[in-house]
Structure 1
Amino acid sequence: MADVAAMAGVSSQTVSRVANNRSNVEEETRQRVLSAMRVLGYRPNTAARALVTGQFRTLGLISFGLGNFGNARTVDAITRVAQRAGYTVNMIAIESQTERAVHEAFDQLTLQAVDGIVLIEAQILDTPALRLPPGVPVVMADGDASHRHAMVDTDQALGAKLITRHLLGLGHETVWHVAGPEDSYAARRRAEAWHTTLKEAKAAVPQVLFGDWSAASGYAAGRVLAERPGVTAVFAANDQMALGVMRAMIKAGRRIPEDVSIAGFDDIDEAEYLSPPLTTVRQDFDVVAERIVSLMIGQIETGTAPSATSFITPELIVRESTGAPPPKSPTP
């Protein structure tokens, strides 16, 4: 550190502030110190720093179902935001949501000396007997707001309401729904909001069809819906299932949107390049991640554990896959 300070023309305290990513250093000075670090091959001693600060500047991340688009994007965004804040991320992906699996993941992460743990879509926390190990700050992403831990999520209900109102506003008498898995918080919130919005509009509430977030499950549901001539609007709970519904409708000879309008949720990168481009709800995963990391760092630095709940506003993206319903055949 003394060598770096001498080369950069600053004090050892300034080098320490840069190494610990403190904000009270002018940018020109910070860059000079970083340049000296690179030239000299200096690496901060994280163990020594932890002894002084009590922090390892490492976050633990437990994800349930990493194959899910939303979960994968959330993990990616949290990792990038944490790195910008000077934190590394250690992640464990769990396929089976059991009490034992959660405790084993916590044990592994705490042995790696993490400062806090983020859980993504942890339905297991609904288990009344489950208690997370104490002493580690926790923030939940896409969780149940009734828990005592801080939670951040896209406003799933608002997104579903926007989609359903959009389709009703185009003149459709009702909207059919292909929901995600019944044990998913996001799927439940979207389905409940779809149901409530139809009831408020005094529209008929069709039977829900369930999928598993995959295009294949959307295709299976789409084949069922394609056999019902009265289906003119479908809201799929994610874009992959919407893609499957579109494929089933086209294969059955139903035109999109002339015969049936289809909308999704997430706004995957491919959504605007589908044929036709897909109407959907955009989730801002970067904003979700920024709020999660901010809450986590706040807990780490203050030692308090707020039970704050933050909902990030989604955006309706209207494209060519939705339109007015087909004209009704004249009554003979």
Structure 2
Amino acid sequence: MTEVTEPQPPTPAASGRAATIYDVALVAGVSHQTVSRFLTGFPGIRPETRARVEAALVELDYQPNLSARSLKSGRPHRIGALVHDETETGPSLTAHGATMEARESGYLLDLISLDAHDRDSIEKTLALIGPNSLAGVLALASTDEMVRAFDAARFTTPAFVHTEADDTRLAKTDVSRVGIPALIAHLRDLGHRRVAHVSGPANWSSGRNRARAFAAAVDELGLAHAGELPGDWSARSGFEALAGLEALPDATAYVVANDQMAIGTILALKRRGLRVPGDVSVVGIDDLPESAYIDPPLTTLRVDHAARGREAVASLIGQIEGVAPRPVHIEIPHVVVRESSGPAPAHR
């Protein structure tokens, strides 16, 4: 006799639909009530059953229905994230980390883009944010204008302002406290004694911090500060900082406040007939994915921006839920040595 098998319903992946608790229950071999109890944190589930449900959730990439969760708990599960300058490495990676942390914690992050330099437009945007649809507000503030606007705002939901404090309160994971001294020590060990800086914009706390950290580390390590050239984080500004000078600083190395400006700096030096690193070394900060593939590959400081975004969201969710925030590991900035830094030239 030929055995007849019942047709199986298509899997969520095959049908293109999102997985439900019924799909999870089927894969885990439990009832949908058990899956529901698991998702609501019910403690009385046997360890072996819990393990099967967890495995099924991962296999099906189950995403909770935020509307249903909000109705059940009586509070929304959406976070409004006030972001800016998404084309810049630090803000974009911080926002990405924040998005990932929110999603993994059962929240949806809505990105609201601001003009980081226009306080009036920032304040108008804040006035439009409705309190009833958001569980909280995450403000990613890099400029003085943003910090002042957020300080004056009256948030009607839990809010967390993520900003880099001026360097009196920096932590051991910060670029300025440990990263820039390590970068300059790398140049010192290569024999460089006169070092110049291409700085970020002065209305960004990170720009000020990096400039101050550069000056302090140069002094502490016994090197000579050969000058500071202003930039605005863009590759264009790194190029123009040097291209328009009648004479270059008397430096054998440049510490540039981010990788994008370092790319422009290298091009400007080459256009002036200098070899990098034969005549002058250049180092950056951030470790862009492209930095390993420019000519020459850029020595830079690797910074864990995404973890900072995760930490900010974890702190905000702690406020929302009235619990201690989930600890987030932030990698200490460290130097990635490539070909743009080399021994100081003997003739200089």
Q: Distance in 2 between matches of 1:83 and 1:152?
A: 27
- Render the CA deviation track for 1:233-276: whole Å, top value 9, x for unaligned: 00111111100110111111101111000001110001111111
Structure 2 equivalent of residue 326 of structure 1: 345
Q: CA deviation at 1:58?
A: 1.6
Partner of 1:139: 160
The CA distance in 2 between the partners of 1:35 and 1:236, in whole Å, is: 45
2:216 match: 196
How has the CA–CA distance of structure 1 residues 122 and 315 changed in structure 2, closer, same or farther, with 3 Å as cutoff?
same
TM-score by length of 2: 0.78
Structure 1: segments with no counterpart, 5+ residues: none
Report how far residue 160 of structure 1 moved. 1.8
Matches within 5 A, 1:81-230: 81-111=101-131, 113-120=133-140, 121-124=142-145, 126-127=147-148, 130-144=151-165, 155-157=174-176, 158-224=178-244, 227-228=247-248, 230=250
Is contact 1:265–1:281 with CA below 8 Å preserved after alignment? yes
Deviations 1:46-70 (A, max 9, x none): 1x53244243222211112222121
**Structure 1 residue aligned with 2:332:** 313
* Post-superposition CA distance 1:84-129 (Å, at most 9, x none): 2221111111115445433433344435622122222252355399
Aligned-pair CA distance for 1:29: 2.0
Verify the 8 A CA contact 1:179 1:236 in the aligned structure 2.
yes
Change (3 A) 1:226 1:202: farther
RMSD (CA atoms) = 3.6
Distance 1:221 1:3, change over 3 A: closer
Percent of paired sites with the same residue: 27
Give distance in 2, aligned partners of 1:45 and 1:84: 12
> Is 2:26 aligned against 1:29?
no
- Aligned counterparts of 2:274 and 2:55: Cα–Cα separation in 1: 60
Amino acid of the structure 1 residue aligned with 2:31: V
Partner of 1:106, secondary structure, is helix
User: 1:269-280 to 2 correspondence within 5 Å?
Assistant: 269-280=289-300
Structure number with larger C-alpha Rg: 2
TM-score by length of structure 1 reads 0.81
Worse overlay, 258-267 or 280-289: 280-289
Instruction: Show the counterpart of 2:321.
Output: 301
Query: How far 1:168 moved relative to its partner?
Result: 2.1
| Structure 2 CA distance for partners of 1:45 and 1:287, relative to 1, 3 Å | closer
Query: Gaps spanning 5+ residues in structure 2: where?
Result: 1-19
* 3-state SS of paired residue (2:198): strand
Describe the SS at the equivalent of 1:205: strand
**In the alignment, what sits opposite 1:258?**
278
Matched to 1:325, the amino acid is A
Per-residue displacement from partner, 1:165-195 (whole Å, max 9, x unpaired)? 2212211112100001111111111111001
2:336, 2:61 → 1: CA distance?
46
SS at match of 2:338: coil
1: CA distance, partners of 2:42 / 2:289: 35
Check whether the contact 1:141–1:153 (CA below 8 A) recurs between aligned residues: no
* 1:53–1:203 Cα change, 3 Å: same
SS at match of 2:82: strand
Larger mean Cα displacement after TM superposition, 289-298 or 250-259: 289-298
